[in-house]
Amino acid sequence: MRVALLLLVAFALPALGGEPEKKARLVVNELVALQVTPEEASAMTDAVVAYLNGRELFEVLGPRDVQTLLGAERQKQLAGACGNDGSGCSADMTKLVDARFVLSGQLAKIGSAYQLTLQLVDTSSTKNAGRSSKLAGSLPAIRELVPYAASEATGSPLPPPPSRVLPITFMATGGAALLAGGAVTLLAFSREATVNEELCPNGVQPDGRCGGVNLQPHSYYADIQNQIFVQKMVALGVSIAGAALLAVGAILFPPDDVRTRISVRFVPTGIGGALVGSF
């Protein structure tokens, strides 16, 4: 009885596990080039195929895969390896015949912008199963939108949003550096005012000389002035580094959020200019 029970469990476990679910086959056609070069359209097609392959949600066949299968069939025909009924060659084309989905589209240039359009067709019902259209100002920008366009067209989960940790770190560090530079600058000017007050306790006389008696030798005040100059230069360097970090953080920030989260403009002032805005 115990042996029979063990045998029953041994045969039942594979049945419970079942076979892994077979992925649907997806053929990606070469993108149609409209006002762009065939090379640019081909490169964008490769980007779509690479992304879909990376997601591993479909068994993807790109244009190069199709050409490989066609070439293999042609070679068999030339070598006479197809057999009398041709079954040897047709077997290589099974993947194409059994493809459940076909993804096609176009890459077009509209003025100075680029548009990527993808459309998915379900061959089992000959109906459109999905569609996506993305617009960007340059080829690199539209290439960055390939994951979103391919996901929308195929109905698969969107890729995770870009991480904001690095840009926020740059912006936080830059803001802190700007505040530190401003504080050091204020301290330097305050110290300079104090030293000038000691140099001229009674103010500047009509003849241009300082009134009153200095509490320290002139060399002492010269050293203080040099220290204040160094302090100002350090503050300027820290402020410049902070502004640079803020700019890098803004550039690296996800594009969709830059327009809504950051608004900065340059305003001329009487002694130079200032950056005014909100984050």
* Alpha-carbon torsion, ordered 69, 74, 78, 79, to 10 deg: 10
Most confident option among 93-97, 164-168, 214-218: 164-168
Q: Which two tokens stand for residue 158?
A: 């969107």
pLDDT at 261: 41
**Do 149 and 174 fall into the same domain?**
no
Per-residue pLDDT reduced to its tens digit, 7-31: 334 444 444 455 556 788 888 889 9
Per-residue pLDDT reduced to its tens digit, 125-162: 878 888 999 998 889 999 989 998 999 888 888 877 77
Domain count, the chain: 2
Residue 1 lies in a domain: no
Residue 9 lies in a domain: no
**Do 130 and 175 fall into the same domain?**
no
Residue 181 lies in a domain: yes
Residue 2 lies in a domain: no
**Do 19 and 88 fall into the same domain?**
yes
* Of 111, 130, 154, the domain-final residue: 154
**Do 130 and 200 fall into the same domain?**
no
Residue 193 lies in a domain: yes
CATH code for the domain in which residue 125 is found: 3.40.50
CA distance 264 to 279: 8
CA distance 142 to 114: 7
Q: CB–CB of 181/173 below 8 Å?
A: no
Q: CB–CB of 132/149 below 8 Å?
A: yes
Residue 253 lies in a domain: yes
Per-chain mean pLDDT for the chain:
75
Read off the DSSP letter of residue 145: T
**Do 130 and 230 fall into the same domain?**
no
Q: What is the extent of the structural domain holding 29?
A: 14-154
Residue 196 has pLDDT above 50, yes or no: yes
Q: Where are the alpha helices (DSSP H) in the chain?
A: 2-17, 38-55, 63-79, 87-90, 94-97, 139-144, 146-154, 165-199, 218-252, 255-261
What CA–CA distances, in Å, run from 63 to 20, 39, 44, 226, 258? 27, 13, 12, 70, 37
Residue 8 lies in a domain: no
**Do 27 and 121 fall into the same domain?**
yes
**Do 104 and 42 fall into the same domain?**
yes
Per-residue pLDDT reduced to its tens digit, 238-253: 999 999 998 888 888 7
Residue 159 lies in a domain: no
**Do 103 and 199 fall into the same domain?**
no
